[in-house]
Amino acid sequence: MPDNVKSEILLDKLFLQLESFQEGFNILSNSKNLEEIGKNFVHLLRGNILVVDINLYYKEKKDLEWRHLFVQNKDSYDYLEYLEISENQQIYFKDVENYKTYACLKCIDQSYFGIIIGSKVDKSEFNSYDVLTLQIFLRLLDNAYQSYIARLREKNLIFSLNQKVLQLNSLIDTGIEITKLENNTQLLELALERAVALTNASKGVLQIEKDKKIIATLRLPNSINVAETLAGKNKIQTRVDYKGYGYNVTLVDKESRNGIISFDETDQILLTAFTRQVHSAVENKELHKESLENETIKKELSVAASIQQKIIPEKLPEIEGYEVAGINIPSKEVGGDYYDCRILDNGNIALIMADVAGKGVPASLLVSSLSASLHAYLEMNKPLDALAVKLNTLIFNSSPPDKFITCFIAILNPSTGKLEIVNAGHNPSLIIRKGKKIEKIEAGGIAFGMFDMGLPYQSKKITIEKGERLLMFTDGIPEAMNELEDEYSDERLEEFYLNNCFNSASEFINNLVADVKSFTKDTPQSDDITALYLIRKE
């Protein structure tokens, strides 16, 4: 039979199987766990290539042993040595009596699936149609596994975000409670107890020091050996001083659902913030009630500001072939604006600009949720329109009705200058093209958290050529007002942009802020001022 006729027959068979492949993908993608994925994959594949048995194995890392995921014939254990690890999807054949067909699939998280296939029911050899069918089902398995991993990460992310919100609420509630205690010993005992609970630590020690000598020690639980606890490796510590006394807090062995794990940066921030609250409580006992209340409010804002300062980058990354500079000037102690420029694992650059409706602590907490969500979702390499839908649902479910976030996200391929962009209700970013022409970027949809009605987001792909520049900003710049309540305006911003675009990135940002300040003069800043400027060098 001629090759072209064989190809046509093969294509006809695949066309007839298309509905089966689609159904198989739906079944695999809806599997609840890894074992169910394995079971469904084996049954689907066996029904399509008609073999005696199919045996699926799995390993989390290359150097680990294979473990069975779904095995139809235990004799296949004896043939595991023939599974060959490969960096790509691989199907190969061995001249072995019972099992001649093998496949190996490397997954996105560096784990592997190994497949050992028995003989065909009719005793015939594998043909090109069987091989192509197996290749398609391996791709379906790969896509289903990626979906499973994404669901796991999303579940862990939501759990982590909820945990952080509970910790912050507990932090504020504890701060209020300790201010009511008159007895110093009771206050410190409660402080140690709550510090352990806030960070999920197994043990805690609070030592009071004066003149470099330990004069008192509190421990939780009471049965622990202080010396052994302080010598532990998995710990976080902080210290506060007040009127010649030093209060040293050490927390050891963070507990989780999976056993003991390392403390993270948030735990250290919470511990430091909490000890500051204790310091405030000890100090404020001697002050008037009004002074005590004002100091408590100030401390709470300090906690929120310190957390937000960890989110907005202190230093932007160096990108070969580009200059980048940014600024964030909050109008209050804590603001609702957020920007970031981070290098992703695949070498691309994420440029982010966001503005929360409202200001103060609630806005800063919502910014924290957005930052954590973006950090997790961007590493999944999701298309920006799908990522925007996920973020909208997450922000909608974790914020009150009057809170939403406008956001502009751009993913830059630094070698080509290609940008994938989505704009969720944010100010259009501005590109100066060659010839000093301004182009506005308005791709996107509604602000995150405004509605959760399944509305789509439209991403846009453009290219920033050498010598061109991108300006991202929040409405605190064009809407900045002077004493006559006149706004700085989009028109003045664009005029300034054209006249100053050939400065360096840092000079441009500094001059832009100076121009806004010269316009508003002594008028109090009514909104956060935030901007990010990117230049692709000639």
Q: pLDDT digit string (tens) for 338-385?
A: 899 999 989 999 999 998 876 666 666 777 778 888 888 887 888 888
Do both 80 and 221 map to the same domain? Answer: no
- pLDDT band at 164; cut points 50, 70, 90: low
Spatial distance between the Cα atoms of 290 and 288, rounded to a whole number of angstroms = 6
Model pLDDT for residues 394-447, shown as the tens digit of each residue: 888 877 777 888 999 999 999 999 999 999 989 999 999 988 899 998 767 888
Contact (Cβ atoms closer than 8 angstroms) between residue 470 and residue 324: no
- CATH (domain of 298): 3.30.450
List the structure tokens of 72.
């139809």
Q: Mean of the pLDDT values across residues 71-97?
A: 86
Q: Mean of the pLDDT values across residues 289-299?
A: 52
Kindly tell me if the per-residue pLDDT of 55 is higher than 80: yes
Do both 369 and 480 map to the same domain? Answer: yes
Do both 401 and 488 map to the same domain? Answer: yes
Kindly tell me if the per-residue pLDDT of 538 is higher than 80: yes
Kindly tell me if the per-residue pLDDT of 327 is higher than 90: yes
Q: Mean of the pLDDT values across residues 247-260?
A: 85
Residues in the chain: 538
Spatial distance between the Cα atoms of 527 and 477, rounded to a whole number of angstroms = 8
Query: Closest Cα partner for 341 from 322, 365, 364?
Result: 322
Our count of domains for the chain comes to 3
| 491 falls within a domain | yes
323 or 524, greater pLDDT: 323
User: What sign does the dihedral 143-146-152-156 (CA atoms) show?
Assistant: negative
Give me the domain span that covers residue 323: 314-536
HSE-up of 10 (CA within 13 Å, CB side)?
14
Contact (Cβ atoms closer than 8 angstroms) between residue 490 and residue 290: no
Give helix then strand counts, H and E, for the chain. 11, 21
Contact (Cβ atoms closer than 8 angstroms) between residue 487 and residue 481: yes
Do both 199 and 276 map to the same domain? Answer: yes
In the chain, the largest separation of any two C-alpha atoms, in whole Å, equals: 99
Model pLDDT for residues 445-490, shown as the tens digit of each residue: 888 888 887 778 888 999 999 999 999 999 999 999 999 989 999 9
Spatial distance between the Cα atoms of 532 and 353, rounded to a whole number of angstroms = 8
Q: Mean of the pLDDT values across residues 484-502?
A: 92
Buried b (16+ CB within 10 A) or exposed e, 37-71: bbebbbebbbebbebebbbbbbbeeeeeebeebbb
- CATH (domain of 93): 3.30.450.40
CA dihedral 419, 422, 427, 431 (to 10 degrees): 10
Q: Mean of the pLDDT values across residues 229-254?
A: 85
Do both 242 and 212 map to the same domain? Answer: yes
Q: What are phi and psi of 507, to 5 degrees?
A: -65, -40
The residue type of 128 is S
Do both 424 and 512 map to the same domain? Answer: yes
Quote the pTM value.
0.46
Kindly tell me if the per-residue pLDDT of 278 is higher than 50: yes
Contact (Cβ atoms closer than 8 angstroms) between residue 102 and residue 83: yes
Do both 495 and 416 map to the same domain? Answer: yes
Contact (Cβ atoms closer than 8 angstroms) between residue 321 and residue 496: no
Do both 521 and 372 map to the same domain? Answer: yes
| 45 falls within a domain | yes
Among the ranges given (71-80, 92-101, 415-424), the one the predictor scored with the smallest mean pLDDT: 92-101
Do both 285 and 419 map to the same domain? Answer: no
Spatial distance between the Cα atoms of 501 and 233, rounded to a whole number of angstroms = 52
Q: What pLDDT, on the 0 to 100 scale, is given for residue 413?
A: 95
Kindly tell me if the per-residue pLDDT of 149 is higher than 90: no
Q: Mean of the pLDDT values across residues 171-189?
A: 56
| 517 falls within a domain | yes
Give CA 205 to chain center in angstroms: 33
Q: Mean of the pLDDT values across residues 218-239?
A: 87
Q: What pLDDT, on the 0 to 100 scale, is given for residue 517?
A: 94
Do both 72 and 135 map to the same domain? Answer: yes
Contact (Cβ atoms closer than 8 angstroms) between residue 297 and residue 506: no
Q: What pLDDT, on the 0 to 100 scale, is given for residue 7?
A: 53
Spatial distance between the Cα atoms of 203 and 221, rounded to a whole number of angstroms = 6
| 159 falls within a domain | no
Three-state secondary-structure class, residue 422: strand
Q: What pLDDT, on the 0 to 100 scale, is given for residue 288?
A: 44
Domain end, chosen from 262, 279, 305, is at: 305
Spatial distance between the Cα atoms of 331 and 202, rounded to a whole number of angstroms = 40
Spatial distance between the Cα atoms of 24 and 137, rounded to a whole number of angstroms = 8
- CATH (domain of 370): 3.60.40.10
Kindly tell me if the per-residue pLDDT of 163 is higher than 60: no
Do both 20 and 106 map to the same domain? Answer: yes
Kindly tell me if the per-residue pLDDT of 296 is higher than 70: no
| 173 falls within a domain | no
List the structure tokens of 340.
């970031």
Alpha-carbon separation of residue 411 from 32, 199, 341, 361, 382 (angstroms): 32, 35, 10, 29, 11
Kindly tell me if the per-residue pLDDT of 176 is higher than 50: no
Q: Is the peptide bond preceding residue 2 cis, with omega within 30 degrees of 0? A: no
- pLDDT band at 5; cut points 50, 70, 90: very low
- pLDDT band at 156; cut points 50, 70, 90: low
| 170 falls within a domain | no
Q: What are phi and psi of 210, to 5 degrees?
A: -145, 130
Contact (Cβ atoms closer than 8 angstroms) between residue 192 and residue 204: yes
Domain end, chosen from 99, 133, 151, is at: 151
Domain end, chosen from 305, 325, 342, is at: 305
Do both 267 and 294 map to the same domain? Answer: yes
Q: What pLDDT, on the 0 to 100 scale, is given for residue 181?
A: 46
